[in-house]
Structure 1
């Protein structure tokens, strides 16, 4: 598996992946409120990395590097649990210059457990338009 920088040619596929992943995972959100174009706004001014294998895009992560903030990490629903998310998370962590942070929706229980398994700690909760979230921190070793 290759983790590489985003290229503009990735946009159409990653838009579809982002939409499909959110519809599959966010069962409490009205699917009609999600759109392909959401991806464009979600990665604005962020460093994006892409997981790829044999020319197939598997997932992506976007990082707001100025704040060591992992904004998005999404893997195609049909290949979750095969190490793609872990590889993207590790690559994102390598961009941090100090304590990393992310927000994860509380209702996204599978994602919450994923981050906890990888050493991230819940430090606070908050509310967003998509529901309550946990604020996670990751302290560099």
Structure 2
């Protein structure tokens, strides 16, 4: 499991729950959906659904890790002390971001695989940055090309810092917002961008 890395206290601003219109569903079976999703703080009754999202998404990302189940207890262990934002559609959580506030560390950022490519991840990332500021960092599995492309598209920077390795999940890379990378003197040369 990736470890967290310190950067000091985060300035937390209030972010009211709000509705965001999503792109039209690509599949006909989803056309009856409301067309809107809500981003809000997690509540305890979300934990089981968020554990399911983490399990389903992790299984896709780490197929060789042998993850057989992530239940509410394991989810609570992995996110203990973290703040969690949830994206929900039709009163059902479909994505979440968990942040270790003290270190500006985005520990988990997962969208239910059935809800990929609908703008939910992008909107959740914007809401996360509005809430926790623009100086965030995360670690991403080097083999997770979909996530790495998403973070780059959002303007984040892959740094040359060693990210470590975890048994069963492979190697990790640090990815930081430009503000976080600049604060650590890690912005790439202009010619490298």
Distance 1:134 1:93, change over 3 A: same
The whole-number CA distance in structure 2 between the counterparts of 1:77 and 1:97 is: 27
Is 1:120 matched with 2:159? no
Greater relative contact order, per chain length (Cα 8 Å cut-off, separation 6+): 2
Q: Is the 8 A contact 2:52 2:70 kept in 1?
A: no
* 1:131 matched residue in structure 2: 170
What is the CA-CA distance between 1:27 and the residue it aligns to? Answer: 2.4
The whole-number CA distance in structure 1 between the counterparts of 2:165 and 2:127 is: 27
* 2:75 matched residue in structure 1: 39
Q: Is the 8 A contact 2:97 2:109 kept in 1?
A: yes
Q: Is the 8 A contact 1:63 1:70 kept in 2?
A: yes
The whole-number CA distance in structure 2 between the counterparts of 1:97 and 1:57 is: 23
Greater per-residue strand proportion: 1
Structure 2 residues without counterparts, runs of 5 or longer: 1-36, 180-193
- Over residues 2-45 of structure 1, what are the superposed CA-to-partner deviations in whole Å (9 max), with x where a residue is unaligned? 1100100001111111111111222232233x532431122110
Q: CA RMSD for the aligned pairs? A: 1.6
Matches within 5 A, 1:1-141: 1-32=37-68, 34-36=69-71, 37-97=73-133, 99-123=135-159, 124-129=161-166, 130-140=169-179
Aligned residue pair count = 139
Question: Which protein shows a greater Rg?
Answer: 2
The whole-number CA distance in structure 2 between the counterparts of 1:61 and 1:97 is: 14
Secondary structure of 2:45 counterpart: helix
What is the CA-CA distance between 1:55 and the residue it aligns to? Answer: 1.0
So what's the TM-score if we normalise by structure 2? Answer: 0.67
Distance 1:98 1:89, change over 3 A: closer
What is the CA-CA distance between 1:94 and the residue it aligns to? Answer: 1.7
Secondary structure of 2:162 counterpart: strand
The whole-number CA distance in structure 2 between the counterparts of 1:76 and 1:23 is: 11
Q: Is the 8 A contact 1:6 1:49 kept in 2?
A: yes
